[in-house]
Structures are given as structure tokens and as C-alpha cells.
């Protein structure tokens, strides 16, 4: 039953539930100088964003649509650009920006909550690199082989290109909720 409910629950709610249990008191709908994160810890200046795999170019789950490709190409570029700008600008002001993928929260809510807690508590905080798909091109007539360009969100590593077969696989819903 818990699992059925979980599949209909947004990643925000799942993460909030896990953080709440651990006494992490966030605020919702807080506007920062650069955007409106999903969760904010004002005193510690920590902003948490939960990014949708499609809208934000998840390297594992972004699926380049078959139709209106110019529109979607532009949409992805704009979203990733905003995420980069926002993250760097907030960190410049002394915020710690924690960006989680929706699949990450669904698959491992416990681990996701731990990442947020580490961001809150670590004396020295070094974020993991975050890769984004910024562009997808197809290399064959069927559109089955793709060349994907990836960018690291904070620009600490140079762009990458990978070639892979088109997939539309989804993440697994968090089974951990069922066991609790
Ligand atoms: Zn994903």
C-alpha cells in the first residue's frame, strides 16, 4: 500500500518526509536572490533543488523527443543554462546549493536525505560534479544512435560527448518506502 502511494507521490514530498524524520527543518516556497528552490534552510543558507530528469537533462533519463525537435532543443538549452547560472550565482553569495535528480529521490530517498544533511552539516563542503545533457544529435536515419553533449553544472570539468543507443528507460520507484 505504501508503495502504491509512493508511486503517486512527488519526489519533493518523499524527500521532505525523510528530512522531517531526521529533524531537518526546511522552509518551502522561499525566494532567494537567484530562483526559488524546492526546499530552503535559511539560517544555514542551503538551497535544495529537485530537478526533473526530462526538464533538466538527466544523463541517465533524458529522452530527446521525436517531434518538434527545435523547440525541445531550445527548451533544454534554456533550462540547463538557467540551472548553471542560478547555482553559480547562489554559491557566489555563500549559499550551498544541493541539486538532486528526481530519479535519485525515487530510487534512494534515504541517500538523498543524507546528501542534504551532509550539505547542512559539513564543515568543509565539496559538491559532487553534476552532469547535464545539453544537446542531443542523432547519428543514424532511425534516430537510434545518439550523440549526447554533457556539461558539468558548475563548469569545474570540461564538456563531454558520449555516443549511445537511444533508450527510454525509467527509474525504479523507491521500494524502501514499502519496507518501512
Ligand atoms: Zn534521471
Distance 167 CA to ligand 1 centre (A): 12
Distance 46 CA to ligand 1 centre (A): 22
Distance 102 CA to ligand 1 centre (A): 6
Which residues neighbour 153 within 8 Å (Cβ) at sequence distance 6 or greater? 83, 84, 87, 99, 129, 130, 131, 132
pTM: 0.88
Ion ligand 1, residues whose Cβ is below 5 A away? 53, 58, 60-61, 101, 103
- Beta partners for residue 46, in sequence order: 41, 96
Distance 109 CA to ligand 1 centre (A): 14
Distance 124 CA to ligand 1 centre (A): 27
Check: CB of residue 73 under 8 Å from CB of residue 135: yes
Distance 100 CA to ligand 1 centre (A): 9
Distance 163 CA to ligand 1 centre (A): 18
Q: How confident is the model at residue 174 (pLDDT cuts 50, 70, 90)?
A: low
Cα 42 to Cα 49: distance, rounded to the nearest angstrom: 14
Q: How confident is the model at residue 173 (pLDDT cuts 50, 70, 90)?
A: low
Nearest-5° angle of CA 168, CA 173, CA 176? Answer: 150
HEC states along the chain? CHHHHHHCCCHHHHHHHHHHHCCCCCECCCCECCECCCEEECCCCEEEEEECCCCCCCCCCCCCCCCCHHHHHHHHHHHHHHHHHHHHHHHHCCCEEEEEEHHHHHHCHHHHHHHHHHHHHCCCCCCCCCEEEEEEEECCCCCCEEEEEEEECCCCCCCEEEEEECCCCCCCCCCHHHHC
* pLDDT tens-place string over residues 53-99: 999 999 999 999 989 999 999 999 999 999 999 999 999 999 999 99
Amino acid at each position: 500500500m505504501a508503495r502504491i502511494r509512493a508511486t503517486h507521490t512527488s519526489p519533493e514530498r518523499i524527500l521532505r518526509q525523510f528530512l522531517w524524520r531526521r529533524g531537518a527543518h526546511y522552509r518551502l516556497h522561499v525566494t532567494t536572490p537567484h530562483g526559488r528552490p524546492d526546499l530552503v534552510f535559511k539560517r544555514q543558507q542551503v538551497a535544495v533543488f529537485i530537478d526533473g530528469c526530462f526538464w533538466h537533462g538527466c544523463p541517465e533519463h533524458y529522452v530527446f523527443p521525436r517531434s518538434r525537435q527545435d523547440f525541445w532543443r531550445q527548451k533544454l538549452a534554456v533550462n540547463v543554462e538557467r540551472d548553471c547560472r542560478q547555482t553559480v550565482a547562489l554559491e557566489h553569495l555563500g549559499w550551498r546549493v544541493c541539486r538532486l535528480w528526481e530519479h535519485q529521490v525515487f530510487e534512494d530517498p534515504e541517500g538523498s536525505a543524507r546528501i542534504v544533511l551532509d550539505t547542512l552539516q559539513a564543515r568543509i563542503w565539496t559538491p559532487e560534479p553534476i552532469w547535464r545533457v545539453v544537446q542531443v544529435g542523432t547519428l543514424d536515419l532511425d534516430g537510434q544512435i545518439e550523440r549526447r553533449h554533457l556539461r558539468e553544472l558548475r563548469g569545474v570539468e570540461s564538456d563531454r560527448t558520449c555516443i549511445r543507443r537511444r533508450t527510454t528507460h525509467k527509474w525504479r520507484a523507491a521500494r524502501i518506502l514499502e519496507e518501512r
